[in-house]
Each structure stands twice: as C-alpha cells, then as structure tokens.
C-alpha cells in the first residue's frame, strides 16, 4: 500500500500532523521509535487547556487521538527514507513502506557519529543488518552497539558471519550466544585498511570485513541525506517544506522554540502543506496544471 503520508515520530508534532491528516482523509502511517521529549517531561504547565498535565499523559492523549482518527501507528526506528520518483520508500526496522509525502517529526535526538564513520557508510559501515548482512557471508563483522536492541541484529548476523561485538554505551548482553565475542573497549573511530574496516577503541584496533553500527537513533544526514541543511539545521520554506518537494519537517527538529505547543502548530502547518502538495501533484498528473 502507498500511504498519502508517512510521519516519522509520534511526539507532539507527529501526532498533531497525523490528526489533521486523517481529518483531510489522507491515509496516514506514523512510524516511531519511542516516547521522545514528552516521555521525559514530568509536568507541562504551559500547554493550553491542560494545566499541570504530565508529559507522558499529554503524549498518550495525542497518540490516542491520532489513532482514534484512523492513523496507523507502528513502532520502529526509521533508518532511511529514499526518494522514489513521485513517492518515497521508508526503511523502518526491517520493514519497507511507501508514501507519497513525508513529515520529519523526530524531535531533537542527536546522534554523535564516530570519527571516520560518515565517510565509510556504504564502504564497510552499515546501519542495517538485514539490508547488508549477506555481503559479509562467511567473513567477520563488527557490531558497534548502543543498547540491547542490537542483540537481535547481532544474533541474525552470527548466522552469516563471525561477529565481534563492541559496546558504544554500556548495556546488558547476557543473552548473547557464546559464539558472539564481546570485546572490551570504547569505540573511537573508523578507518580502512585495504578492503577491511578498522575500528579504533581505547583498548586498541579491531579489524573486520564490515561494521554494523546499531544505535537507537539515526542521524538526519543518514536518514535522508538529500535534505539540505545549514549549520546543522534543516533548510525549510514557510510551508515547512524541505529542499525535497514532498518532504516536510515539524516540531523540535524544525526550529526553536522547543515547546510542545509550537510542535503541535508545526505539525498542523506541515500536514496542510503536504495535503496541498498531493492535490497539486494529482492535478499535474492529469495535465490540469503545469
Ligand atoms: C525535560 C523536558 C521538559 C520540557 N518541558 C516543557 C514544557 O514545560 N513546556 C513545553 O511546551 N515543552 C517542554 N519540553 C519540550 C517538549 O517536550 C518538546 O518541544 C516537544 O515534545 C517536541 O515535540 P516533537 O514532536 O518535535 O518531538 P518529540 O516529542 O521528541 O518526539 C519525537 C518522536 O520522534 C521519534 N523518533 C526519533 N527518531 C526516530 C527515527 N529515526 N525513527 C522513528 N522515530 C523516531 C521519537 O521516538 C518520538 O516519537 C520539555 C522537554 C524536556 C526534555
């Protein structure tokens, strides 16, 4: 199924966009990795109409409303959005979705890349075990893991290759099978040695055929590298459209102030712009406008 809109993030901005998308009768998919900033907020006392509401209470009210309107909410970390003619292909977890428009509503989650990581994406560094694991069949791969979610991917990779597991952040790995080796050391940087990838840690070098970096968040530059940014900020027009027609941004990821009410307003602007984009595209395909 090709959705009219895929919204990435189910916080204040994403839920607001989803509610109005459904009001405009758009088929709506919301993909979200977790609870975002509202999940961490004890009390919000400046959200209109809800004095003293807790962040999680507000978040679940917004999500319930989006679902009540008919939006489909699916939990999954979006790793990549790929332009595909007039639509977009979205990789979330290990599943692929298609949508005509995209709303980026991922909040402020920042990802610190390792030195050398960005330059080696696609040349030995990957973020998706299911997509790229087969390239390393019979070889040795590194898993650089930030949390327990990486364990399942590491186990999948161990059916294809020898797996060396390095923790970027401390987490429990008690359920890793014995054939996966957990190495000590804090990852610092990536480089190439011939066709092999080298991970430098504070305990020394680890060499492998490929590396899978598995974090609970994805850098904007990895998620959709085609979107223009300036000083780390997404370039947006007044309709909250990015440099790619059909891709919009809302909420904390779009601009300051980082406030729930502003994120909700952004979600509303972005989805109305997406609805206008769909109408124009439809008219163009019928030859009604140039
Ligand atoms: C401690 C604290 C106190 C605050 N107090 C207030 C206050 O009093 N008043 C106020 O107005 N605001 C307050 N805020 C700010 C407010 O919470 C944010 O401005 C608001 O939540 C932003 O909404 P958002 O939808 O842009 O992002 P978020 O609410 O952060 O939602 C982001 C969503 O994107 C998802 N996501 C991120 N990356 C991916 C990915 N790759 N794939 C799939 N999903 C992804 C997250 O899981 C989440 O669902 C506070 C924030 C904090 C942290």
Non-local (6+) Cβ contacts of 21 within 8 A are 4, 5, 7, 28, 71, 271, 274, 275
Q: What's the gap in Å between 190 CA and the centre of ligand 1?
A: 31
Q: What's the gap in Å between 227 CA and the centre of ligand 1?
A: 21
pLDDT along the chain (290 residues), means of 10: 97 98 98 93 93 96 98 94 94 93 91 90 86 93 93 95 97 94 96 96 96 87 88 91 97 93 98 97 83
pLDDT given at position 127: 83
pLDDT given at position 288: 78
pLDDT given at position 125: 93
Domains in the chain: ranges and CATH: 2-110+218-285 (3.50.50.60), 118-214 (3.50.50.60)
Q: What's the gap in Å between 12 CA and the centre of ligand 1?
A: 7
Is the CB of residue 214 below 6 angstroms from any atom belonging to ligand 1? no
pLDDT given at position 121: 85
Helix axes 12-23, 260-285, angle to 10 degrees: 40
Q: What's the gap in Å between 228 CA and the centre of ligand 1?
A: 22
Is the CB of residue 26 below 6 angstroms from any atom belonging to ligand 1? no
Question: pTM for this structure?
Answer: 0.86
Asked if the peptide bond before residue 137 counts as cis, ω within 30 degrees of 0, the response is no
pLDDT given at position 62: 98
Is the CB of residue 263 below 6 angstroms from any atom belonging to ligand 1? yes
pLDDT given at position 73: 98
Helical ranges in the chain per DSSP H:
12-23, 55-68, 129-132, 150-158, 220-223, 260-285
pLDDT given at position 216: 81
């Amino acid at each position: 199924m090709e959705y009219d809109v895929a919204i990435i993030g189910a916080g204040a901005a994403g839920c607001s966009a989803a509610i109005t998308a459904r009001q405009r009768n758009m088929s709506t998919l919301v993909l979200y990795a977790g609870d975002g900033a509202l999940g961490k907020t004890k009390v919000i006392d400046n959200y209109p109409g809800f004095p003293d509401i807790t962040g999680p209470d507000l978040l679940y009210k917004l999500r319930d409303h989006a679902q009540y309107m008919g939006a489909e909410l699916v939990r999954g970390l979006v790793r990549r959005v790929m332009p595909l003619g007039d639509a977009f292909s979205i990789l979330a977890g290990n599943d692929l979705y298609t949508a005509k428009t995209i709303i980026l509503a991922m909040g402020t989650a920042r990802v610190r890349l390792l030195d050398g990581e960005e330059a080696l994406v696609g040349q030995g560094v990957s973020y998706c075990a299911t997509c790229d694991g087969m390239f390393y069949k019979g070889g040795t791969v590194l898993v650089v893991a930030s949390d327990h979610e990486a364990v399942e991917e590491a186990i999948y990779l161990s059916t294809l290759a020898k797996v060396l597991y390095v923790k970027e952040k401390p987490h429990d790995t008690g359920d890793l099978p014995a054939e996966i080796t957990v190495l000590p050391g804090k990852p610092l940087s990536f480089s190439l040695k011939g066709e092999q990838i080298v991970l430098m840690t504070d305990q020394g070098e680890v060499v492998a055929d490929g590396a899978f970096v598995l974090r609970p968040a994805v850098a904007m530059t990895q998620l959709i590298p085609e979107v223009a940014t300036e000083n780390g900020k997404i370039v947006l027009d007044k309709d909250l459209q990015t440099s790619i027609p059909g891709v919009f941004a809302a909420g904390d990821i779009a601009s300051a102030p980082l406030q729930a009410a502003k994120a909700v307003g952004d979600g509303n602007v972005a989805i109305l712009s997406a609805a206008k984009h769909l109408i124009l595209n439809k008219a163009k395909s019928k030859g009604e406008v140039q």
